[in-house]
Amino acid sequence: MIISAFLSAIAQMSDKRFRSVLLRGVGLAIAILFAISSLFIWGVGFFVGDAVSLPWIGEVQWLDNVLSWAMVPLMIILSVFLMVPVASAITSIFLDDVAQAVEDRHYPGLPPASEVSMSDGLRDTVSFLGVMIAANLVALILYMVFAPLAPFIFWALNGFLLGREYFTLAAIRRVGRIEATKLRKRHMVTIWAAGVLMAMPLSIPLVNLFIPVLGAATFTHIFHRLNK
């Protein structure tokens, strides 16, 4: 079911409206990563300066140029670590548009979905994002202690967190917060496994830019199939 839902999400990339949301999601992800990379480079330049005096070499004047050329590879490297919280933020923004496009194509005849108020949406976004960042900061200890298992810990942890967020946001639109929580607890293993499927490509540079929107579509399918 999970693979089928993911393949259905990929197949809908031919849908003009879905593709529009996907491109906006990719654009926003790039913008966020670019902003973070620029801030990082500015911080290094601010504290180090344009020139650095090195032992036996003397004064190096071209540090700012090196940092400028390092922008693209730096963005790619940072995306491996930053795309999980970025995906969380993007999903909260675009899920309603993605879910509606999926439902119009695959689940026609449904009544209008309930609108989530701006305050509730903002609260959910901040809550999910805060938990995700805090959990990954704590997990840094595990990554260092169990270095060979670090990728699996990363996928398991973020798969759980992303699955919880994706499914909750998709379900709230149709069954409300209380029933969404019940469904999530009832099908936790399936949701966790689907979250891991989303977390794994998030660690692949460039591919990870497409995952937030594809993940939202995948979990819309998963919700409707579990809700039967």
Distance CA(196)–CA(73), nearest Å, equals 26
Residue 49 within a domain: no
Domain count, the chain: 1
Task: Over range 27-56, report the average pLDDT.
Answer: 70
Residue 54 has pLDDT above 80, yes or no: no
Q: What is the pLDDT of residue 194?
A: 95
Which range has highest mean pLDDT (71-75, 115-119, 139-143, 179-183)? 179-183
Residue 161 within a domain: yes
Pairing state of beta strands 58-60 and 52-54? Answer: antiparallel
Residue 92 within a domain: yes
201 close to 207: Cβ distance less than 8 angstroms = yes
Q: What is the pLDDT of residue 222?
A: 95
Residue 190 within a domain: yes
The range of the structural domain enclosing residue 7 comes to 2-12+80-227
Residue 18 within a domain: no
φ/ψ of residue 52, rounded to 5: -130, 135
Q: Is 137 exposed, middle or buried (0-12, 13-18, 19+ CB in 10 A)?
A: exposed
Residue 60 within a domain: no
Residue 169 within a domain: yes
Residue 58 has pLDDT above 60, yes or no: no
